[in-house]
């Protein structure tokens, strides 16, 4: 094995930098993936949620706002979940006008939808280019 590369079980060469860290796109786990230990811990935490809620109730009843806040910050999502009747621009405008979502949430939703649309268009273009390539090679 050299400092610049290691082989994994799939026989792919994983490129590493001078510090031994994997270079982007050279193998390893995908960004944001969790290992089994983290998944197990998350499962354990989810199963403790009812107990944690009871601890929050007790802490609030005893005036321990610091403990209640700490637990709630870890139990609840960092941002709220927003449900819209549809995903077109008018649905976002209606929710914003009704006060169901904030301007920041409307902006985030609109950007997410635009990004997903762009990804979808790129996938369609890629499929068309592949199809044209097969036609030019006489495979279709």
Q: Specify the pLDDT at position 9.
A: 42
- State pTM to two decimals: 0.37
Please give the torsion angle defined by the CA atoms of residues 69, 70, 76 and 78, in that order, rounded to the nearest 10 degrees: 100
pLDDT at 134 over 70: yes
Q: Specify the pLDDT at position 40.
A: 73
Contact 92, 109 (CB under 8 A): yes
pLDDT at 26 over 80: no
Percent of the chain residues past pLDDT 90, beyond the cut:
3
Highest mean pLDDT among 33-37, 41-45, 59-63: 59-63
Only one residue has tokens 């706002």, namely: 65
Average pLDDT of span 30-42: 64
Only one residue has tokens 């592949």, namely: 130
pLDDT-derived band of residue 5, with 50, 70 and 90 as boundaries? Answer: very low
Q: Specify the pLDDT at position 83.
A: 77
Highest mean pLDDT among 11-25, 41-55, 106-120: 106-120
The greatest distance separating any two alpha carbons of the chain, rounded to the nearest whole angstrom, comes to 77
């Amino acid at each position: 094995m050299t400092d610049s590369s290691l082989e994994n079980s799939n026989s792919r060469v994983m490129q590493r930098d001078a510090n031994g860290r994997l270079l982007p796109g050279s193998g390893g786990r995908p960004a944001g993936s969790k290992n089994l230990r983290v998944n197990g811990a998350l499962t354990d935490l989810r199963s403790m949620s009812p107990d944690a809620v009871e601890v929050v109730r007790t802490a609030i009843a005893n005036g321990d706002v610091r403990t209640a806040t700490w637990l709630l910050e870890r139990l609840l999502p960092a941002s709220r979940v927003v449900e819209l009747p549809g995903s077109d621009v008018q649905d976002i405008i209606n929710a914003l006008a009704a006060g169901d979502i904030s301007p920041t949430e409307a902006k985030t939703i609109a950007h997410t939808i635009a990004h997903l649309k762009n990804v979808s268009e790129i996938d369609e273009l890629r499929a068309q280019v592949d199809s044209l390539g097969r036609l030019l090679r006489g495979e279709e």
